[in-house]
Amino acid sequence: MDISSIDGSNITESEMGMYVDRSYEKLKNGKYIVKVSGETYSCPFCPQKKKPNYRYMDLVQHASAVANSSSARRTPIVKANHLALSKYLEKDLAPLVSSFSLKPAAQEDPLSGCDHDEKIVWPWTGIVVNIPTRKSEDGRTVGESGSKLRDELIRRGFNPIRVRPLWNNCDHSGIAVVEFRKDWSGLHNALSFENAYEADHRGKKDWGSNNDVKYGLYAWIARADDHKSSSIIGEHLRKTSDIKTISKLMEEEARKQDRLVSYLTNILETKNKHLKEMEAMCSVTSESLKVLMEEKDNLLQAYNKEINKTQQSARLHYQKVFSDHEKVKSQLESHRKDLELREVELEKREALIERERKKLAEELEEVPCFILHLHFCVFTR
């Protein structure tokens, strides 16, 4: 159904929300044809004579770009219709879209069919043109950020490192360069990126085929003619990249591999030499350690033997001291008892002597009386 048959062509900005809902309901009810064939989609809100075929992700980009455009020729009804289309694609068609539609069209190895002598910009760089732009309030031309396009390309499996929009003074040129990894996987992704757009008839030849108004993104890999061009693309590429052939890169890679193998071989030989030296040193050290361990064991045995001998000698000495102590103690005890007996005898002798002394004293007292008596007897005669 063409846009001319839609009601409400004179809606204002304030009525857009209600009109988006009306258009969205018509899309859900099948009044507008979006899916043309298995992997081909079209925009029902673009004029019939300019209506191209899209892949699913490209139609999502187209709907979002028109809905968010600030261009004066994008009327409120056009933006409302495309906003409804964007909502319908993301909410209703996304679960039904096959995973093939979200991946690169060419799944075979792109390196197998490419010309190895063709000059290609290196590091591998893609070019994207026809990026939707709009006028900002200050009159500058602006467009979507590079990170948004990078995320979309990552979802499609191309794995770019970054996307750089090209600016002409302060205006977005509608062109961006896509940077890929510098290795062979980066080239594989770059060629897959180019093949996918060529399969959708959005490659470099399609971009330059005629002067008709084109919708959606066109993309290819930067080559020698892009690098030498006087356009903003050539200026950027000459500042950031070089031109090489795959064959030359393979030769350089082979030389690098040979140098790396030689370097690693030398390192391996040096390591093996050091390893043998270490093994010899370990062997000598092991023998020395074995001798030291034997000496240690012998010293330990001698030490233990000497300790046992010392402990036994000390034990015998202590036993002898104890025995002598007991003997002396016994002798002292016997001597003490002898002394006590002698003390008792002395005390008895002292008592006897004291009695004898008293008796003698008594006898001495009686001697004078006896002498007087004797004298008396003599004189009386």
294: amino acid identity, one letter = E
Per-residue pLDDT of 309-319, as tens digits, reads: 999 999 999 99
pLDDT at residue 300, rounded to an integer: 93
Question: Is the confidence at residue 48, as pLDDT, over 70?
Answer: no
Q: How far apart are CA 207 and CA 229, in angstroms?
A: 16
Identify the CA nearest to 72 among candidates 8, 136, 3: 136
Q: How many helices (H) and strands (E) does the chain have?
A: 9, 8
For 335, the 3-state DSSP assignment is helix
pLDDT at residue 289, rounded to an integer: 92
Phi-psi region of 159 (alpha: psi -120 to 50; beta: other; left: phi over 0): left
Q: Report CA 126 to chain centroid distance, whole Å.
A: 32
Model confidence band, residue 171 (pLDDT cutoffs 50, 70, 90) = confident
| Mean pLDDT, rounded, for 64-80 | 72
pLDDT at residue 160, rounded to an integer: 93
pLDDT at residue 157, rounded to an integer: 84
DSSP-assigned beta bridge partners for residue 167: 172
Q: Report CA 85 to chain centroid distance, whole Å.
A: 43
Percent of the chain with pLDDT over 70: 85
CB-based burial label for 137 (10 Å; 0-12, 13-18, 19+): exposed
Q: Which two tokens stand for residue 115?
A: 């010309």
Top-confidence residue, 265 or 210: 265
What CATH code is assigned to 111-240? 3.30.70.2890
Question: Is the confidence at residue 61, as pLDDT, over 80?
Answer: no
Question: Is the confidence at residue 93, as pLDDT, over 50?
Answer: yes
- Within 8 A by CB and 6+ apart from 36, the residues are 42, 53
Model confidence band, residue 307 (pLDDT cutoffs 50, 70, 90) = very high
Give the start-to-end residue ranges of the domains of the chain.
1-102, 111-240
Question: Is the confidence at residue 79, as pLDDT, over 90?
Answer: no
Q: How far apart are CA 304 and CA 295, in angstroms?
A: 14
Model confidence band, residue 92 (pLDDT cutoffs 50, 70, 90) = confident
Q: Positive or negative, the Cα torsion across 141, 146, 152, 153?
A: positive
Model confidence band, residue 75 (pLDDT cutoffs 50, 70, 90) = confident
pLDDT at residue 247, rounded to an integer: 83
Question: Is the confidence at residue 228, as pLDDT, over 90?
Answer: yes
Top-confidence residue, 104 or 118: 118
Q: How far apart are CA 2 and CA 32, in angstroms?
A: 9
pLDDT at residue 291, rounded to an integer: 93
Question: Is the confidence at residue 126, as pLDDT, over 90?
Answer: yes
Do residues 63 and 85 make contact, with C-beta atoms less than 8 angstroms apart?
Answer: yes
Per-residue pLDDT of 156-166, as tens digits, reads: 888 899 999 99
Model confidence band, residue 99 (pLDDT cutoffs 50, 70, 90) = very low
| Mean pLDDT, rounded, for 283-311 | 93
**Cis ω for the linkage preceding 123 (within 30 of 0):** yes
Do residues 118 and 191 make contact, with C-beta atoms less than 8 angstroms apart?
Answer: no
CA atoms within 13 A on the CB side of 378: 6
CB-based burial label for 243 (10 Å; 0-12, 13-18, 19+): middle
Do residues 9 and 22 make contact, with C-beta atoms less than 8 angstroms apart?
Answer: no
| Strand ranges for 86-159 from DSSP E | 119-122, 125-129, 133-135, 141-143
- Alpha helices (H) along 119-245: 146-155, 184-199, 204-207, 224-228, 232-240
Per-residue pLDDT of 337-369, as tens digits, reads: 999 999 999 999 999 999 988 988 888 887 777
DSSP-assigned beta bridge partners for residue 135: 141
Model confidence band, residue 301 (pLDDT cutoffs 50, 70, 90) = very high
